[in-house]
Amino acid sequence: MENIETYLSEILEIPKAAVAACSNFYVPKKVSKNEFLLREGEICKETYFVEKGLLRMYSIDKNGKEHIIQFAPEKWLMSDRSSLYFSEKSKYYIEAVEDSEILLLKNDFFKNLALEFPQTAGNNDLLLQKHIRNLQNRLNSLLAETAEERYMNFIKMYPEILQRVPQWMVASYLGITPESLSRVRKELARKNFQTS
Distances (CA, A) of 149 to 36, 55, 101, 134, 190: 31, 24, 32, 15, 16
Kindly give the confidence (pLDDT) of every residue in the chain, 196 residues in length, as a single tens digit, with 9 standing for 90 and above: 788 999 888 888 888 888 888 888 899 999 999 999 999 999 999 999 999 999 999 999 999 999 999 999 999 999 999 999 999 999 999 999 999 999 999 888 888 888 888 888 888 888 889 889 988 999 999 999 999 999 999 999 898 898 899 999 999 999 999 999 999 999 888 887 665 5
Please tell me the predicted confidence (pLDDT) of residue 75.
Answer: 93
User: Is the separation of the CB atoms in 90 and 83 below 8 Å?
Assistant: yes
Residues 196, 179: Cα–Cα separation, whole Å: 20
Q: What is the rounded distance in angstroms from the CA atom of residue 13 to the CA atom of residue 144?
A: 37
Domain spans of the chain, in order of start: 2-144, 145-196
The confidence score (pLDDT) of residue 111 equals 87
Residues 6+ apart with CB under 8 A from 79: 44, 46, 47, 48, 94
Burial class (CB in 10 A: 0-12, 13-18, 19+), 31: buried
Q: Which amino acid is at 168?
A: W
pLDDT value for 195: 57
What's the predicted TM-score (pTM) here?
A: 0.90
What CATH architecture is 2-144?
Sandwich (2.60)
pLDDT the model gives residue 193: 65
Q: Is 105 exposed, middle or buried (0-12, 13-18, 19+ CB in 10 A)?
A: buried
